[in-house]
Structure 1
Amino acid sequence: MSLIAAAVCLGFAGCTSQPANPNPRAAVPLSTVAVDLPRYMGRWYVIANIPYFAERGFVGSRAEWKLRSDGRIDDAFVGRKGGFDGPEKRYQFLDRVKEGSGGGAWRVRLFWPIYVSQLTLYVDPDYRYTLIGYPDKSLGWIFSREPDMDDATYRALLARFHAMGYDTSQFRRIPQKPDQIGQPGFASPGSHD
């Protein structure tokens, strides 16, 4: 079984390989922020991301988090593959908050026995926006409670990622409505960006 798990992990690594991060703070470790878990739950729209391979080509994507009575989190990824005409797909995960993280670090079970780390790097005081990262900075997400985000807010959130050592040129905005497809900076549903 461990050989299969190792092969799957190597496959994930190959699918997420990126060019070297040019940010001068690339080697600085990420720090999580504490979150009020009940307040943090609910629907979050994916405004932009450096996606992992399974997210590529999705539009109208969002995360839905629900705190369970046992302290674990039901985590759903919902979106449409290839365009807004396609059916909505839903993928279910199970997360566990890492002890001592103040709710800011989660262990996400993609499928047994594969787990990944999810780090909350920023949440605004009103819980309207949040930044989620991955320890090696190869993945990142800008989430919003609303499907639209103005350019000034988007640039300010990207600047936060840059200050943390991310290569922000890797982020692509995710179309949340059909007229955003093909616009500058937005991911194309048919691309592998």
Structure 2
Amino acid sequence: MSFATAGVAAIATALLLSLAGCSNDPPNPNPRASQPLATVPVDLPRYMGRWYIIALIPYFAERDMVGSHAEWNLRADGKIDDSYYGHKKSFDAPEKHYQFLDTPVPGKDGGEWSVQLFWPIHVTQLTLYVDPDYRYTILGYPGKNLGWIFSREPDMSDEVYKSMLGRLDAMGYDTSRFRRVPQRPDQLGKPGFATPGEKD
């Protein structure tokens, strides 16, 4: 097993543990916690390209990553090449890259993907919100113990960020668990941003 393959396997294992609720997740205090998540229709060609990870519920595989983003590329067979990039703990660290393969689930209008993390391991990814101009999007999982806020740009205003958290709150997420991902060195250590080495 190559180093890159081992890295993907580690991410897959950590994500599966989180999805299974084996990561000591705190109880969700949101009164809408039991409300099922609903996907939104997605124009897949328009959805492709680079998305910066603005905030997330930290978990093992992404907790110490900074400057992270995803690149989605729609293939001729309808599947999606899903590339993850980020730096471990420091912007001076070499950029890490993990490759996944996503398959839009039939009948879900592009809003639900089956993500192959590491053969034969697949997980479900839900698109919970996309703004009309395809500048921002929210991704999640049915258990609400994982979630992400993405943006086309590495910066997001506090006003927009608060509106994204408001949407997540209405969906039943515990928004207090979200941490912003530093996309610039000057954001390291700022209140509300994830700190490399910090335990959630």
What is the TM-score normalised by the length of structure 2? 0.89
> In structure 1, how many angstroms separate the alpha carbons of the residues matched to 2:199 and 2:120?
26
Q: How does 1:135-174 map to 2 (within 5 A)?
A: 135-174=142-181
1:129 paired residue number: 136
| Corresponding position: 1:109 with 2:151 | no
CA RMSD, 1 decimal: 1.4
The one-letter code sitting in structure 2 at the alignment partner of 1:51 is P
The one-letter code sitting in structure 1 at the alignment partner of 2:119 is W
Unaligned regions of 5+ residues in structure 1, if any? 1-7
> In structure 2, how many angstroms separate the alpha carbons of the residues matched to 1:134 and 1:117?
7
- Note the alpha carbon deviations across 1:46-74, whole angstroms, 9 max, x for none: 00001332111000000110000000000
| Corresponding position: 1:120 with 2:141 | no
2:51 paired residue number: 44
Give the C-alpha shift of residue 192 in structure 1.
3.0
> In structure 1, how many angstroms separate the alpha carbons of the residues matched to 2:30 and 2:125?
21
Give the C-alpha shift of residue 111 in structure 1.
0.2
Give the C-alpha shift of residue 83 in structure 1.
1.0
> In structure 1, how many angstroms separate the alpha carbons of the residues matched to 2:21 and 2:168?
23
Runs of 4+ in 1 over 2 A off after TM superposition: 8-17
Question: Does the residue aligned with 1:158 lie in a helix, a strand or coil?
Answer: helix
Q: How does 1:17-36 map to 2 (within 5 A)?
A: 17-36=24-43
The verdict on how the C-alpha distance between 1:70 and 1:136 changes in structure 2, with shifts beyond 3 A counting, is same
Q: How many equivalent pairs are there?
A: 186
8 Å CA contact retained: 1:82, 1:189: yes
The verdict on how the C-alpha distance between 1:35 and 1:91 changes in structure 2, with shifts beyond 3 A counting, is same
What is the TM-score normalised by the length of structure 1? 0.93
Equivalent pairs: percent with the same residue?
Answer: 68
8 Å CA contact retained: 1:15, 1:53: no
Question: Does the residue aligned with 1:23 lie in a helix, a strand or coil?
Answer: coil
Question: Does the residue aligned with 1:175 lie in a helix, a strand or coil?
Answer: coil
> In structure 1, how many angstroms separate the alpha carbons of the residues matched to 2:75 and 2:28?
37
The one-letter code sitting in structure 2 at the alignment partner of 1:76 is S
8 Å CA contact retained: 2:21, 2:145: no
Question: Does the residue aligned with 1:55 lie in a helix, a strand or coil?
Answer: coil
Give the C-alpha shift of residue 185 in structure 1.
0.2
Unaligned regions of 5+ residues in structure 2, if any? 1-12
> In structure 2, how many angstroms separate the alpha carbons of the residues matched to 1:39 and 1:130?
12
